[in-house]
Amino acid sequence: MKDFLDRLRSAPARTLADLQARRAPWLLLAGLCLGLVALAHGLFQHYLFMRPCEQCVYIRFAFLVMTLGGLVAAIQPRRGALRAAGYVLAGWGAWLGLGYSLKLDKIHTAAHGDNPFGVQGCATEPTFPFGLPLDRWSPTLFKPTGDCGFDNPIIPEGTQLDSVQQALTTFYADGWYLWPASHFGTMAESMILAFGLFMLLLAVGLGAWLTVAVRPGAPARELPPGEPAIR
C-alpha cells in the first residue's frame, strides 16, 4: 500500500492507468453494484417487506448496467476496446442511476411535504430503456409494488416475524434512512451520493487513461515481473 501511495503521488496518471489495466478494480466495481442490488432485493424487499417503487426498480437496472460494464472490462482490461466498453456501460449506468435518484428525491420531498399532489412520476408499469420487459422477465426484481417516497416495511397480515425481523422492521418503521433513528439520509439521497461517487471515480480513471494514451513518449515505470502493462 505504501508503495502504491508513493507511486500515486509521484505519477498519478500513470499509476491509475496501470491500476485499471488489472481485473481487480473492474471486478470490485461489478461486485459492489451487484451486491447493492442483492441487498435491496434480498434484505430490504423480501426479509423486511419494503416494497420497491418504480424509481427503485430503475435504480436496480442502473446498478446492473454498471455491473455489466465492470464484467465486460474485466474480461481483458489491457485491451482498449473492452476497457472502453466497460467505461461506456458503467458510465451510462451511473448517469441513469443519478437521474433516477434525483427524481425519486423530488418525489420523496413532495410526498412528505405540504403538497402531496406534487408527486409525479410513479407508475406501476415501468418503462425500461430500449423497451426491455424486465418486469415480465423477473417480476420479483423489477416489478414495482410500492409507492414512491414511502419505503417503510409493509408486513403481510399473519406473518410471524423472527426476532431479527422484528427488530429491523421496527428500526425502519418510518422508512429507509441511512440512519433511521435520526431520519438521516433518505434512500434517494444515499443513492445520489453513491452514483455521484461512482461517476467521479470513473471520470478520474478515464482521465488518467486518456492522459497516458495521448502522451506515448511519457516514460513508463518499470513493472515488476508478471504485472500487466497498460495498453
* Residue 219 pLDDT level (bands cut at 50, 70, 90): very low
DSSP string, 214-231: T-TTSPPPPPPTTPPPP-
In a domain, 230, yes or no: no
Would you state the torsion angle of the CA atoms of residues 58, 61, 62, 63, taken in this order, to the nearest 10 degrees? 130
Domain, as residue range, for 56? 15-149+187-213
Q: Is 19 inside any structural domain?
A: yes
Residue 49 falls inside a structural domain = yes
- pLDDT tens digit string along 141-167? 999 999 888 889 999 999 999 999 999
Please, which pLDDT band fits residue 53 given cuts at 50, 70 and 90?
Answer: very high
Q: Is residue 5 part of a domain?
A: no
The pLDDT tens digits of the residues spanning 73-119 come to 999 999 999 999 999 999 999 999 999 999 999 888 888 777 656 56
Report yes or no on 163 lying in a domain: no
Tell whether 122 is covered by a domain. yes
Residue 40 pLDDT > 80: yes
Residue 126 lies in a domain: yes
CATH number of the domain that residue 136 is part of: 1.20.1550.10
Q: Is 158 left (phi over 0), alpha (psi -120 to 50) or beta?
A: left
Q: How many domains does the chain have?
A: 1
